[in-house]
Chains A and B, each alone.
Chain A
Amino acid sequence: MISRLLKLNGGVHPPEHKLESTSRGIAAVPLAQTLVLPLRQHVGNLPKILVQPGEHVLKGQQLAEAVGSISAAVHAPTSGVIVSIEDQLIPHPSGLPDVSITLKADGEDRWMERKPVDWRNTERLQLVAGLRESGIVGMGGAAFPTQIKLRPGGGSGIKTLIINGAECEPYITCDDVLMRERADEIVKGIVIANYILAPERIIVGIEDNKPEAVQAMREACAKSDVRMDVIVVPTLYPSGDARRLAAILTGIEVPSDKRSSDAGLQVFNVATMMALYRYLELGETVVSRIVTVTGNVARPGNFEVPLGTPMGTLLEAAGGTLPNTNELIMGGPMMGFSLPSNDVPVIKATNCIIAGAPLLFPAPPPALACIRCARCAEACPVSLQPQELYWFAKSQNLEKAREYNLFDCIECGCCSYVCPSNIPLVQYYRFAKSEIIAQDKAKEAANLARERNEFRLSRIEREKQERAAKHAQRAAGAKAENAGDTSDADEAKKVAIAAAMERAKAQKEEAPPKNTDNISETAQAEIAAIDARRAEQKNAEQEN
């Protein structure tokens, strides 16, 4: 299949460091004693907790259910007892704790009853609705709930389904080894996605630095009834970004204010496809993922890790960290972030853990002044003007930064990588972005407060007027009575008084029953006897 690939604007070629972790196959990790499952493992609403501390759960059981449209469920990665539900450190750049479920493994690793879905004979909408309980999110690291992207809505309008196996960031190899070893499962997942979305074409995009994966995927695709093309793209960071890859493969640039699906494209990571296959054909919810452990460790490699496993356990499986390790990075060296501790758990977005050392990642030299060389603009894969954005972010001229399309920045770090002045450009953009988001939120809250305040004032005004109207009415009535010139009012009053007297009379007649009315005969006899005695006594007193 000959297809002309679009050349990516910009991009960089950082040292790959992928060989270290691909020499070994996917290995298992010993089951940790305690697993911590943060509720915030995906983009969107926090899921609602379904379990309580002390409850025994089975592997794959749903612990928290999706809330609202953009949300994902959380499942038990092994069988055991829920120990606590409280704030714990999570892998997040903030280093702050967040709500997590702690599970103590019972060591049996017993699955719940797995219910495969007969997806070929199930209505598509129903199938996608069922995915809310699967816990599947984008496994490439973005962690966007997959059921949203699979929503078919009749004719899905998806013309090209793109499967992302590019994996462009240095050090990370989890998708590479997954394609080498489990190409069949990935292809089965693609077949399901093909059934749901019914695209005209399916493309699997893989970078040319993964020949083994390309080979394995080509063989697996050839065996399938559904036609899918494996296309090799030149290695260039960041061609693994969903929109970049889509542009390279199809030549379609998705406008920044539109979704890929609006342009007839949908992009899924290879691991997401495998998760889809496992959920629908095996009935297995998302309880584990492949994680690359590399950098300053004794035996770098890829591991199938139950979610919630502490990073420490994972590092031990890789032979432990070597001396001089000074930090732990989740994600790649370009887009990853430092973890606050070795105890934070593996989550659905954890694709790679790099043990950092001064030799591997030397501390950046101090930033110098921008010399306006525009190398960052040449490297920017989304054709922004990083040097301008830098000025605006640095001077906190946020509106201007927004005008210069700050929110199109994919934070790939190419600009920082090429900057001869060592300016941490991406950090500035991240700062500006989160500041703008916070301001927008505050603005929204202010608008809501204004609305509520205005409503309250108008309500108070209305009540006041109503009261005034009532008073006026009453005053008018009183005046009429005083004047006594309207016989109608007098007549009405007389009738009303008569009616009231009638009612009082009726009430009197219908006197309330005495408490002596409904009692037994013996009691009545007793009362009679007492009355008789009293009368006798009275008589006697009178006689005396």
Chain B
Amino acid sequence: MLAAVLVMLVLALMLGLVLGYSAIRFKVEGDPLVGKIDAILPQTQCGQCGYPGCKPYATAIANGEADINQCPPGGEAGMRALADLLGVEPRPMNEEHGVSKPKSVAVIDENVCIGCTLCIQACPVDAILGAAKHMHTVIASECTGCELCVAPCPVDCIVMVPLQESVANWKWRYPVHTIKQVA
């Protein structure tokens, strides 16, 4: 009887030491859930979700402050991926935060641009190039299509152009079966 109790006690002590040691030794910095959520978000940094970027939104979701259906660029697929990750039911997209649009890039009309640098300050990914009183231009390959540069422009010279399908980005279609009409 006593021996059994002792054995259990010693075991508990040893395991407790191992657990305590590993809790310190293998401590995970930050919240890994935020990183996982952030990896699913499209990184457009558009702020349509109501948070100042994808990471803050991810943090808010992880803390249970925000819903998973507030990211229009991620769309239905992104929402489903988040639902999968968090183990919650998928729900319809919240239209208050905007609707999903095809991916676009910003284009500056260089004849109209006055070089005010307001768009450069607005761009969350430093994709606009230019200097004060000099023409600005968008680095198309870096542009996330967040539209944040459109509003600040005092001369309305920025337009969002949807990406066209080309030979380079063309995809094979889902095979469609033709259904025979039966009278």
Contacts and interface: CB of A to CB of B under 8 A. Distances in A.
A322 B44 CA distance: 54
Contacts, number: 74
Interface in B149-176: 165-167, 169-175
B157 to A, nearest CB: 23
A96 B167 CA distance: 6
A493 interface: no
Interface in A423-469: 424, 427-428, 430-431, 433-435, 437-438, 442, 445-450, 452-457
A367 interface: yes
Task: Using C-beta atoms within 8 Å of the partner chain, give the interface range for chain A.
Answer: 20 to 34
A452 B42 CA distance: 13
Contacts of A455: 126
Interface in B21-65: 38, 41-45, 53-55
B127 A452 contact: yes
B124 A456 contact: yes
B100 to A, nearest CB: 14
Contacts of A448: 142
Contact of A367 (B54, B166, B177): B177
Given A366-B180, A367-B177, A430-B172, A453 B43 contact: yes
Interface string B122-152: 0011110000000000000010100000000
Interface string A193-228: 000000000000000000000000000000000000
Given A96-B166, A448-B142, A453-B125, A424 B175 contact: yes
B54 A431 contact: no
B111 interface: no
A48 interface: no
A92 B167 contact: yes
A328 to B, nearest CB: 18
Max chain A C-beta neighbours (<10 A), residue from B43, B173, B177: B43
B125 A431 contact: no
Interface residues of B, number: 29
A437 B169 CA distance: 10
Contact of B170 (A96, A424, A453): A96
A98 interface: yes
A19 B179 CA distance: 38
Contacts of A97: 167
A449 B175 contact: no
A311 B174 CA distance: 28
A96 B173 CA distance: 14
Contact of B172 (A40, A431, A457): A431
Given A447-B43, A449-B44, A94 B167 contact: yes
A93 interface: yes
A455 B45 CA distance: 13
Given A94-B167, A449-B45, A431 B174 contact: yes
A450 B54 contact: yes
A450 B175 contact: no
A433 B43 contact: no
A82 to B, nearest CB: 21
Contacts of B41: 446
28 contacts: A94-B165, A94-B170, A96-B165, A96-B167, A97-B167, A366-B180, A424-B175, A428-B175, A430-B172, A431-B171, A431-B173, A431-B174, A435-B172, A438-B169, A445-B144, A446-B42, A448-B142, A449-B43, A449-B45, A450-B55, A452-B127, A452-B142, A453-B54, A454-B55, A455-B126, A456-B125, A456-B126, A457-B53
The 9 A-B pairs at the shortest CB distance, nearest first, are namely: A94-B170, A446-B43, A449-B43, A427-B175, A430-B172, A434-B171, A452-B125, A98-B167, A434-B172
